[in-house]
Amino acid sequence: MSDALARLGVESSCLYLADHDQMSLHPLGPGGDSGEAPAVDGTIAGRCYALETVLEIQHGELTRLWVPLVDGTTRLGVIAADLPAGMAGDPAVRESVCHVAALAAELVTVKALHSDVIEQVRRRKEMTLQAEMQRGSLPPSALASRNVAVAGMLMPAYEVAGDWFDYALNERELDVAVIDSVGHDLSSAMVSHLVSSALRNARRNGVTLEDAYAAADATLRWVFPTVQFATAALGRLDLADGRFRWISAGHPPPLVVRGGRVVNEVPTRPSLPIGLGGTDPVLNDVVLDPGDYLLLYTDGVTEGGARGTERFGLDRLADLLPRNLEAGIPNTEVLRRLARAVLDHAAFELHDDMTLVLVEYRG
């Protein structure tokens, strides 16, 4: 990357990757400012990352371009590129720097599959085995198409055990799932891993949501004869008409944002959690209008709070969600700010995993 940017006239450059909890940005390889790790909140580098936009500042006698590092719709970090002041205003140079950043993002994604170096840069502390299992099976944090966009976030980054999310965009529909298995240890991660794999397998075999629920339930009861279960929300959005059908297996109802405000919790008839032998699951449905948002979340979001203090609660979530959406920021940043609000409220003392999945129906 540095060689490619140097050919464009860039005098120095550095690639920064966001850590897993998206609190700070860390240099990959040489070129950082004395090992500096800019915070995502309150810095130019962090603003570039959060808003996914190019920013420019004076850096001594040079002009520094901060360029977002985004692979498709998945943000990874930022690139700092120092240009002579006379070159920074050249649209062709700026466009070329952005092209290099796009290629670098793709390379980072691919090379992360073959080496631990990139993963080790992103880690700020030791990760538990259960968190390793969960994060290793997650889809990319964001996806966007002409019809729909989806973003997901899982916290706490290094100790998560039972929470998990998934999505898949196919020709006519978007499938989405959120899981919260009972407990917070390795067995909880194993339950979640088994349920998520069963749901993926059922989806890829082309079965209905009801059959996917039954398959996951039967699999979990077969592997764990003693009582183990997971709450879940598994749904399917028809891209043509906006109809969202889902099964709420003991899970909180989703929220719908329409016209800049939370309309309500979607009326939901629950089914038994997966693993408790439920039969004939109830299929709920709601029709989304173009421009609507649908938020799925686990109870760790609303129940977040330091011991002995007030929970974060549904009212705070319903207030912050539309306000962040109206700010016009990327969907991934909306989720990051919601998660940060829960962490701040809990004084960074989470007692449960929290997962957020935001679906934007574009019509």
- pLDDT at residue 44, as a whole number: 96
Tell which of 95, 122, 149 closes a domain. 122
Q: What domain range includes position 280?
A: 129-361
pLDDT of residue 2: 82
**Cα 293 from Cα 256, distance rounded (Å):** 6
Whole-angstrom distance, CA of residue 219 vs CA of residue 222: 5
Please report the pLDDT score of residue 307 as a whole number: 61
Please, what's the largest Cα pairwise distance for the chain?
70
**41 and 47 in contact (C-beta within 8 Å)?**
no
CB 356 within 8 A of CB 314: no
Predicted pLDDT at 348: 64
pLDDT at 214: 96
pLDDT digits (tens, 9 = 90+) for 249-292: 998 999 999 998 898 788 899 999 999 998 889 999 999 999 99
Residues 314 and 345 in one domain: yes
For residues 180 and 314, state if they share a domain. yes
Please give the pLDDT value at position 33.
58
Per-residue model confidence (pLDDT) at position 30: 66
Residues 202 and 146 in one domain: yes
Task: Show which of 107, 122, 137 is a domain's final residue.
Answer: 122
Regarding whether 254 and 135 lie in a shared domain, the answer is yes
- Number of domains within the chain: 2
Q: Are residues 116 and 161 in the same domain?
A: no
| One domain, residues 31 and 140 | no
**Per-residue pLDDT at 90:** 79
Q: Residue 298: give its domain's CATH number.
A: 3.60.40.10
Q: What is the pLDDT along the chain (363 residues), one digit of tens a residue?
A: 788 888 878 888 999 999 999 999 999 976 555 568 999 999 999 999 999 999 999 877 888 999 999 998 899 999 999 998 777 777 888 899 899 999 999 999 999 999 999 999 999 889 999 889 888 889 999 999 999 999 999 988 888 888 999 999 999 999 999 999 987 788 888 999 999 999 999 999 999 999 999 999 999 999 998 888 999 999 999 999 999 999 999 989 999 999 988 987 888 999 999 999 988 899 999 999 999 999 999 988 888 766 657 888 899 999 999 999 999 999 999 999 999 998 888 766 666 788 999 999 998
Do 74 and 156 sit in the same domain of this protein?
no
Alpha helices in the chain (DSSP H): 2-7, 44-51, 85-88, 91-111, 117-122, 129-136, 186-204, 209-223, 299-302, 313-326, 331-345
Same domain, 98 and 146: no
- Examine the domain organization and report whether 108 and 154 are in the same domain: no
Cis ω before 156 (30° cut-off from 0):
yes
Specify whether 144 is located in the same domain as 99.
no
Residues 181 and 223 in one domain: yes
Query: pLDDT at position 352, please?
Result: 75
Q: In whole angstroms, how far apart are CA 339 and each of 21, 48, 176, 325, 344?
A: 9, 19, 20, 14, 9
Same structural domain for residues 274 and 182?
yes
The residue from 78, 107, 122 where one domain ends is 122
- The CATH number linked to 94 is 3.30.450.40
Q: Please choose, from the candidates 10, 33, 18, 126, the residue with its C-alpha nearest in 3D space to the C-alpha of residue 76.
A: 18
- The pLDDT of residue 7 is 80
Q: What is the pTM of this model?
A: 0.92
